[in-house]
Chain A
Amino acid sequence: MKTAEDIFTLLSEIPDPEIPVISIIELGVIRNIEIINDSTISLKITPTYSGCPAMKQIEDDVRKKLSENGFTTIDIKTIFSPPWTTDWITPAAKEKLRKYGIAPPENSTEDKSWLTGKDKNIACPRCKSLNTKLISQFGSTACKALYQCQDCQEPFDYFKCI
């Protein structure tokens, strides 16, 4: 029988539908895996954002991957608590985001800017300059804010902390 670790490895092959450089495991949305037997599995997933359109895609991809690997009864439950936080994105995945051109989220315990209303300095993923400017709290997807580097002029997405 497959172990939860096997399933994690298997699901690590599924890329995030909107940011394909990281996997859904690295994103931290798979919260619990319970293998009942060789053909039955139960999973808990949590949405990144309430309206994130990728969640349906992620669920479909998980179903497809598991059914290709012998599971016939796949129960996927969406849970809200504890709410997803960018802290669950692994350090390695954060580095992948940066290389991809998306400034990775700071640790939310350190970044209180979303509470205090003060903009913090986000490093440009291209030239690493801290001389960057917030253009909009809301970028190309719900999880990102739009910044521009004042040195290299590159506009870039910042994966905002929640």
Chain B
Amino acid sequence: MTTQEALFQYILRIGDTNLILGQRLSEWTGHGPFLEEDLALTNITLDITGAAKSFLEYAAKVEDKGRSEDDLAFLRNDRQFFNAQITELPNGDYARTIARQVLVDCFDYYFYQELSKSNDETLAGIAQKSLKEVTYHLRHTSAWLERFGDGTEESHNKVQLALNELWQYTNELFEMNEVDELLIKEGIAVDLNLVKTKWEKHISELVEKSTLTIPQNVFMQTGSRKGIHTEHLAFILAEMQALPRIYPDAKW
């Protein structure tokens, strides 16, 4: 594997994770629990989708085969996507959406901090930009986790159930393969073990503050680094890609 091939894979992974999460979250637009929260989550969605565009644009440039970011987003099949599985899972109720968002925001927060120091100037630039945005996201979703956890018995139970079911998808975020190995040597990629230590500390403090508990001895899902996904990804792609696939010349 050349550095160029590894870099393409690496950016695709980050871009896809943002793209699929943004697409999933956009389902809440117009359906939020109340107006201000609808706006807030829509704004978060917009930032995440914007980051996806920046990353995929760069991936297309690195690949250098004449594909655009739209080609990458709309003309690949499920097995060619490398987003973390947690992002493709259905939103569920608001407690579940928030629980997932806290887990991912916290990952992004520490991941972008490290990526900001990358030798790759474009990746570092996008990371610096996204870090400012994610700081707001994490603050917002953390406040919600605490409100749900320390709220009523029902909100507590719902968010605890969400954590219990989502936890099995968290280890995937930190998996590294030959792509990471090669790019860490070049000073481009982030050592995800570093991110994991910080993430675990932050999440366990936040979960405790929210009067919740982290599930123990959970079987960890894996697969997205190889393009293996849950059954939900193909459905989300079918919806997201329908228009450009039916009308390949459509412009907007």
Question: What 0/1 pattern do residues 115 to 149 of B give for CB contact below 8 A with A?
Answer: 00000011011101110110110011000000000
* B140 contact set on A, CB distance < 8 A: 137-138
The smallest C-beta distance from A77 to any residue of chain B, in angstroms, reads 11
CB atoms of A81 and B128 under 8 A apart: yes
CB atoms of B47 and A80 under 8 A apart: no
Interface size band for A: 20 to 34
The smallest C-beta distance from A151 to any residue of chain B, in angstroms, reads 21
Chain B: residues with Cβ within 8 Å of the partner, total of: 31
Query: Among A3-11, A33-41, A139-147, which stretch is in contact with chain B?
Result: A139-147
Partner of A50, one of B121, B129, B135: B129
Query: Among B3-11, B35-43, B79-87, B90-98, which stretch is in contact with chain A?
Result: B35-43
A83 and B136 contact, Cβ closer than 8 Å, known pairs A50-B54, A137-B40, A142-B47 = no
CB atoms of B128 and A138 under 8 A apart: no
Question: What 0/1 pattern do residues 6 to 26 of A give for CB contact below 8 A with B?
Answer: 000000000000000000000
Interface of chain B: mostly helix, strand, loop or mixed:
helix
The smallest C-beta distance from A45 to any residue of chain B, in angstroms, reads 13
Most buried by B among A51, A79, A142, A146: A51
Most buried by B among A52, A80, A115, A162: A80
The smallest C-beta distance from A57 to any residue of chain B, in angstroms, reads 13
* A82 contact set on B, CB distance < 8 A: 128
The smallest C-beta distance from A56 to any residue of chain B, in angstroms, reads 10
Is B12's CB within 8 Å of the partner chain A? no
A136 and B40 contact, Cβ closer than 8 Å, known pairs A50-B51, A50-B54 = yes
- Cα A50 to Cα B170 with chains together (Å): 25
CB atoms of B46 and A49 under 8 A apart: yes
The smallest C-beta distance from A105 to any residue of chain B, in angstroms, reads 13
The smallest C-beta distance from B233 to any residue of chain A, in angstroms, reads 22
Is A114's CB within 8 Å of the partner chain B? yes
CB atoms of B133 and A162 under 8 A apart: yes
- Cα A49 to Cα B124 with chains together (Å): 16
The smallest C-beta distance from A117 to any residue of chain B, in angstroms, reads 6
CB atoms of B39 and A80 under 8 A apart: no
Question: What 0/1 pattern do residues 72 to 94 of A give for CB contact below 8 A with B?
Answer: 00000001111110000000000
Most buried by A among B42, B132, B133: B132
- A residues adjacent to B (C-beta < 8 A): 47, 49-53, 79-84, 114-115, 117, 135-142, 146, 160, 162
